[in-house]
A and B are shown apart, each in its own frame.
Chain A
Amino acid sequence: MPERIVTVNVYAKILAVLLILTATTCAVSYIDMGRMNLVVMVLIACAKASLVALIFMHLRYSRHLMSIVAVGALFWLGILVALTLGDYLTRGWQ
């Protein structure tokens, strides 16, 4: 399968975005938003991970099978989180 060529320019832009997001994370940690701090940081982290997977790891330019694999892996992580929370959220004694 011929690989779509991604220009260095695109990589550079994505790198810049990633660095800005990292700076944002740092900045957010200085603002006290209570529980929302965590939410914002996780959202930023997810955005960064998506960029890396889609662009740097070429998921955007690959066959659908690759996306299925990636989503499947996330789903598997979801199983871990869901059943573990199934424990923590139903503990009568806590």
Chain B
Amino acid sequence: MGAVTTKTEEVQENYLNAEYGWKSWLFTTDHKRIGLLYLVSITLFFFLGGLFALLIRLDLLTPPGDMMSSEAYNKMFSMHGIIMVFFFLIPSIPAVLGNFVIPMMIGARDVAFPRLNLLSWYLFNIGGLCMLYAVVNGGVDTGWTFYPPYSSNFSNTNVAMAVTAIFIAGFSSIVTGLNFIITIHTMRAPGMTWFRLPLFIWSLYATSLIQVLGTPILAISLALVAAERLLHLGVFDPAYGGDPVLFQHIFWFYSHPAVYIMVLPSMGVVSELIPTFARKIIYGYKVVAAASVAIAIFSFLVWGHHMFVSGQSIFIGMVFSLLSYAVAIPSAVKVFNWTATLYKSSVSFQTPMLYAFGFIGLFTIGGLTGLFVAALGVNIHVTDTYFIIAHFHYIMVGGAVMGYLGGIHYWWPKISGRMYPEIWGKLAALTIFVGFNLTFFPQFILGYLGMPRRYHAYPPEFEMLNVLSTAGASILGVGYILPLIYLAWSMRYGEKAGPNPWFATGLEWRTPSPPPKKNFLETPVVTWEAYDISGQPDLVERLHNEDRIYKSALQAEERKREELGVETPAEGA
């Protein structure tokens, strides 16, 4: 490739060893380093949020809930939700993996505004510190949704501080989204047309649109809550002439699209994993790309399905129910396209692919139960029960977190230059899958039977299913700690990865691992369609020589042709 090839035994200069010292990290404008900074921040929050989850499940181990008072329990689930949603899931894939790979995938040397990118990380951490302050200063008990009157006249916890924290972190989300949109518009390499972009880019583009269009509204709704608390403005409190349902409208206008901020990036990761590990072009590229944008737009039209029992009018309830059914279509389209890609492909079951399979199955369950709860009648039965908890955890944990972990494993060789240990990877993926289902499937049944959410105690007949759920949570916890350990181990002891260990087609794989500081030794020129292996002759040759699965698939195909007496099709057919 490059005209100047350095001697192989020499350690090449890359983004990790180009500079040393804490200043070189804290003042970096390199999108790859900023991605890693985010990785550190959100991993801390993930385990803090996980700790609260553990305490919730421990309390629910016994029917009387004898571990915590109901006040303490309210704080636990509130802080769990706030931290997981705003300080882990929303930044997870975009800020870590998006930052790391978007510029490389489109053949750019950095994002459009590198310093703004660094600013977003600082904003995130300032918000995070405010949140930590709220946590240690006694916590919050409003639930992650901050509904008045819990957040207004009935609360005496750190609502104002928590709201400020989310307000600030929200700006980091807006800035990141803006940066990505402009980067994707203006910095694509020669030949990288819109329809040659990897689908990960399309889904992050759609995500960024939601971040830019939605997050300001969240900021406004939270600012109004704070203003009402501090200045007694009459917005949501009827005593001052306000209306509490108005808060729910404004809040969910952001927060339903926000669930797609969490899941769209995971869909993008899956759209990368499936073609790579099935050695096949994705089925219906343009449809999958368009589905991402359609989801982003439709997601703004369905928020009222969170308010069916809030007192909103029956008429608008019917409208929101209908629109909710419409938004499910593009998601379903994606699932069908991934499945169709697998048809007659040569699948290799490496760790990232296990996560992709996990995603498809669990997201489908989450999405279909979404249709249950979007039906007006069914909703009245299951709203505010464990059925809802199970529904959104199937999507946000079963879907979004699976995609995130799949992506982390997939790009880990690029990030660190080393392979993670495959056996441990598979073991962890399996542990997480089993632990997840054991934790959350019983909750569907519990909810259906009528166990309400957000209570610290429950009637004894629900004990069995709750014990199962807590047992599952402990398995899940182990599953999440495993990657932390072996990924750290692999940074030093892992096998050297080489530029393209997966035989993948994206531009990020056509540069050394770890990549040089400026991503590419020379600016790439794209001449092939997305995921088309045959467009990269060097890759085809490597597949023929090195890849057992690809070879055996080719042989099987040839044998079949011979059996059927079909002539080998002409070259390129």
Q: Which residue numbers of A lie inside 8 Å of B, CB to CB?
A: 72-73, 76, 79-80, 83-84, 86-88, 90-92
Would you give the shortest CB distance from A70 to chain B, in whole angstroms? 12
Rounded to whole angstroms, the CA-CA distance of A10 and B187 in the bound complex is 34
Rounded to whole angstroms, the CA-CA distance of A76 and B214 in the bound complex is 9
Set A72, A80, A86: member contacting B315, Cβ < 8 A: A86
Interface centre among A83, A87, A92 (most CB of B within 10 A): A87
**In contact, B316 and A83 (Cβ under 8 angstroms):** yes
Set A87, A88, A91: member contacting B304, Cβ < 8 A: A87
**In contact, B217 and A86 (Cβ under 8 angstroms):** no
Q: What are the nearest 6 A-B pairs in CB distance? A: A90-B315, A90-B313, A87-B316, A87-B312, A91-B313, A84-B249
**In contact, B246 and A84 (Cβ under 8 angstroms):** yes
- Chain B 236-268 interface 0/1 with A at a Cβ cutoff of 8 Å (1 = within): 000000000110011001000000000000000
- A92 with B301: in contact, given A86-B319, A87-B249 (CB under 8 Å)? no
- A83 with B301: in contact, given A73-B213, A76-B213 (CB under 8 Å)? yes
Would you give the shortest CB distance from A53 to chain B, in whole angstroms? 15
**In contact, A76 and B300 (Cβ under 8 angstroms):** yes
Chain A residue nearest to B181 (CB atoms) is A69
B314 within 8 A of A: yes
Set A72, A73, A80, A87: member contacting B313, Cβ < 8 A: A87
Would you give the shortest CB distance from A66 to chain B, in whole angstroms? 12
Q: Can you report 19 residue pairs joining A to B where beta carbons are below 8 Å apart?
A: A72-B213, A73-B213, A76-B300, A79-B253, A80-B217, A80-B249, A83-B249, A83-B316, A83-B319, A83-B320, A84-B249, A84-B250, A86-B319, A87-B249, A87-B313, A90-B313, A90-B314, A90-B316, A91-B313
Rounded to whole angstroms, the CA-CA distance of A88 and B304 in the bound complex is 12
Set B246, B253, B316: member contacting A86, Cβ < 8 A: B316
Rounded to whole angstroms, the CA-CA distance of A72 and B212 in the bound complex is 12
Query: Using Cβ atoms and an 8 Å threshold, which residues of chain B touch A72?
Result: 213
**In contact, A80 and B319 (Cβ under 8 angstroms):** no
Chain B residue nearest to A80 (CB atoms) is B253
Q: Which residue numbers of B lie inside 8 Å of A, CB to CB?
A: 213, 217, 245-246, 249-250, 253, 300-301, 303-304, 312-316, 319-320
Would you give the shortest CB distance from B136 to chain A, in whole angstroms? 35
Rounded to whole angstroms, the CA-CA distance of A84 and B250 in the bound complex is 8
Would you give the shortest CB distance from B312 to chain A, in whole angstroms? 4
Query: Using Cβ atoms and an 8 Å threshold, which residues of chain A touch B245?
Result: 87
Set A73, A79, A87, A88: member contacting B301, Cβ < 8 A: A79
A80-B217, A83-B249 known; 10 new pairs, CB 8 Å cut-off, are A72-B213, A73-B213, A83-B316, A84-B249, A84-B250, A86-B315, A86-B319, A87-B304, A88-B313, A92-B313
Rounded to whole angstroms, the CA-CA distance of A38 and B544 in the bound complex is 73
Rounded to whole angstroms, the CA-CA distance of A83 and B300 in the bound complex is 10
Chain A residue nearest to B212 (CB atoms) is A73
Would you give the shortest CB distance from A64 to chain B, in whole angstroms? 14
Rounded to whole angstroms, the CA-CA distance of A80 and B217 in the bound complex is 9
Would you give the shortest CB distance from B243 to chain A, in whole angstroms? 8
Chain A residue nearest to B317 (CB atoms) is A87
Would you give the shortest CB distance from B185 to chain A, in whole angstroms? 9
Would you give the shortest CB distance from B316 to chain A, in whole angstroms? 4
Query: Using Cβ atoms and an 8 Å threshold, which residues of chain A touch B319?
Result: 83, 86
Rounded to whole angstroms, the CA-CA distance of A8 and B249 in the bound complex is 42
Rounded to whole angstroms, the CA-CA distance of A90 and B314 in the bound complex is 8
Query: Using Cβ atoms and an 8 Å threshold, which residues of chain B touch A86?
Result: 313, 315-316, 319
Rounded to whole angstroms, the CA-CA distance of A87 and B130 in the bound complex is 35
Would you give the shortest CB distance from B385 to chain A, in whole angstroms? 24
Rounded to whole angstroms, the CA-CA distance of A84 and B304 in the bound complex is 9
Would you give the shortest CB distance from B21 to chain A, in whole angstroms? 38
Query: Using Cβ atoms and an 8 Å threshold, which residues of chain B touch A91?
Result: 312-313
Would you give the shortest CB distance from B115 to chain A, in whole angstroms? 20
**In contact, B314 and A92 (Cβ under 8 angstroms):** yes
Rounded to whole angstroms, the CA-CA distance of A41 and B314 in the bound complex is 33
Chain B residue nearest to A92 (CB atoms) is B313
Chain A residue nearest to B300 (CB atoms) is A79
**In contact, B250 and A80 (Cβ under 8 angstroms):** yes
Chain A residue nearest to B250 (CB atoms) is A80
Would you give the shortest CB distance from A45 to chain B, in whole angstroms? 15
Query: Using Cβ atoms and an 8 Å threshold, which residues of chain B touch A87?
Result: 245, 249, 304, 312-313, 316
Query: Using Cβ atoms and an 8 Å threshold, which residues of chain A touch B312?
Result: 87, 91
Query: Using Cβ atoms and an 8 Å threshold, which residues of chain A touch B213?
Result: 72-73, 76
